[in-house]
Structure 1
């Protein structure tokens, strides 16, 4: 069905009428006068027409780093009980996740729905596979994806949260998830967690090569340790010809490397088209420099009020505010750039063939021919929409309205 968005402001600009057909944007023209006929003959309030009410039209959000398999959104709040450190946090999650008030399938499905309601239609979610969980959490994320298959596109990462070398059977369950249709091979802290980076990365990249899947490595390692791991990742990316198929998530090392080291590393990452996913941590990624280097970068919400952290509320507009805040951005252009990272930037992390950001001033995603993955938000300007994060949103996936006013359609 052709859908016309009447009186919307693409990226906060002049009012326009935007026509969608076949899952893509097919026309963008100056807004018609109230009561005028839409291109398909419907009136402003007729079928196939959305009254934009002067709201801002943006590309929909792309959450490229979320753990749907550990969420507690929608359940009673519980005090945080984890201890510092990735291994300790993992053990805390392991000791508690089966005892929640709802099943992991119900929780993952609820949280994915909440994300869609708030404007996210492109998702890359982790699903923990290890000696304890087996495929249970992976299958829960697949079930959530199936429930919302007409509302969002979800890629699932088979993720060895407990590492690959510390527990017998870890590699086998990771491979089994790939056989069952996982979209991405995950890895984590090859030095700090598994303490054998060569073996860990050989397993991850070996499986990626065998099953022809992209790679996403959780890298919490700081400074020189993180630099060493990234260099090993780049070495394998080059050797296997996996340009455009590797993502480094968190990449905390980029925040504390000296300029000389950082510039060279960013240049090599750009050359090999290795992307970055950030969750807007307290010590932020050097976002402007990453963008200027030509690196694809996207945003994610990480855990959603789970056994790792009480933070997270399924709202990527909130996380966009956090990205701007932690980077100490005040200028409208840089706040808008955070929106671009959270939308088109993330889409290009998921699909390296998608439109990419060319600079902090680039505002793509709303031209004729672009996918009809869109969200309408309230606000005087894009920066104001980030500051206020109002509820009046309409969410469009593949040219169809899938949520309105924070309710699924």
Structure 2
């Protein structure tokens, strides 16, 4: 492989977009796909002295992964395994994290940087990450996430959510710390369980949406609440989205309580979410998986994420979004190729649409955008006979491209 710092075109030879016919893909230095030429159409393009040529070897070309629900500041990747000690519930888990996160073998900045590096190496080039801000951590964890963002600028697009993991009303000063993080440059303001954790959903959401309106940033709300509470909180979120004209700038993470609602109630909520362009992010939970087909039919943008990884909340997670794609398909019980490929689309262009609502998005379970002329060249080459096989096999034979530049190959940064 030639040096990826060259300013010529990137030429991908013998690749199969979404597992289709072999093609040559030309990416000029503007970072967008310029040409997709079927190999059967004639001789390959001759490369210039500054061009970079990647031999695809028949690998599958798909949009690179967009991890849109990850806590870069909550991981123990590449550290010794630690037995789980967390108590049940969000508050108990939060206290367990609070009691332990400073005592890891390496600094919080090194941990955030490790997690982002590993994600890029495995095919992720777009990230929306939480940074925990509370009266215990202040902005320390937020600053560690900013350091990781800066370390890998040019290799990965990173959007940071200021996230009040401990709620906004249980501890004095929480709302003030959240505002300081937004003032310090957080891209999104976060909320969490307005009913179940803070037990005052109106006041909680008034703070979150008030900051969003004041600073002109989007909103993302963690929603672990069960069925009827999830429905109630979601309706309040939708009411504020509509009242403040924030269409396309609000997302709900988790939201698996909505899956337990009767179908008619789900459909009503999902259709309203589609009209207001309120997105969802999932982590492929073991219980309460989101009804992906219903969400796609309603026009709701859905993305996928790793969450925390081998942290003080859970021993799961390994920075590999291809693994998480397999988990998404597995927890939904999908066997048909169409739905497994849809999971791969959710993990890539689906998540990317949360970062850029104006970009390509999924309009149905059979939609496969992201590798056409004019698309941003955030791509990954995967080994496999078909896209479904690539998800099942999860081969390390991958080449990762961000904005038309090769940033990682064979699970190592270039």
TM-score, length-scaled by structure 2: 0.96
Give, in whole Å, the separation in 1 of the partners of 2:205 and 2:46.
54
Shift of 1:33: 9.5
1:120 aligns with 2:124: yes
1:371 aligns with 2:376: yes
Q: 1:33 to 1:295 in 2, by over 3 A?
A: closer
1:331 aligns with 2:336: yes
Question: Residue by residue, what CA displacement relative to the aligned partner does 1:103-145 show, whole Å, maximum 9, x if unpaired?
Answer: 0100000110000000000000000000000000000000001
Q: 2:286 aligns with which of 277, 282, 288?
A: 282
- Structure 2 counterpart of 1:172: 176
Question: Residue by residue, what CA displacement relative to the aligned partner does 1:21-60 show, whole Å, maximum 9, x if unpaired?
Answer: 11100000012799x5524446xxx951101011000100
Shift of 1:253: 1.9
Measured on the aligned residues, the alpha-carbon RMSD in Å equals 1.2
Question: Residue by residue, what CA displacement relative to the aligned partner does 1:81-108 show, whole Å, maximum 9, x if unpaired?
Answer: 0011000000000000000000010000
- Structure 2 counterpart of 1:312: 317
Question: Residue by residue, what CA displacement relative to the aligned partner does 1:181-215 show, whole Å, maximum 9, x if unpaired?
Answer: 00000000000000000000000000000000000
- Structure 1 counterpart of 2:32: 24
- Structure 2 counterpart of 1:15: 22
Mapped contact 2:66–2:349 kept (Cα < 8 A) = yes
Mapped contact 1:18–1:25 kept (Cα < 8 A) = yes
- Structure 1 counterpart of 2:244: 240
Matched pairs, number: 405
Q: 1:197 aligns with which of 201, 211, 221?
A: 201
For residues 197-236 of structure 1, the aligned pairs below 5 Å read 197-236=201-240
- Structure 1 counterpart of 2:257: 253
Give, in whole Å, the separation in 2 of the partners of 1:47 and 1:188.
47
- Structure 1 counterpart of 2:86: 82
Mapped contact 2:11–2:51 kept (Cα < 8 A) = no
Mapped contact 2:73–2:145 kept (Cα < 8 A) = yes
Q: Secondary structure at the match of 1:376?
A: strand
Give structure 1 stretches of 5+ with no counterpart: none
Mapped contact 1:333–1:360 kept (Cα < 8 A) = yes
Give structure 2 stretches of 5+ with no counterpart: 1-7
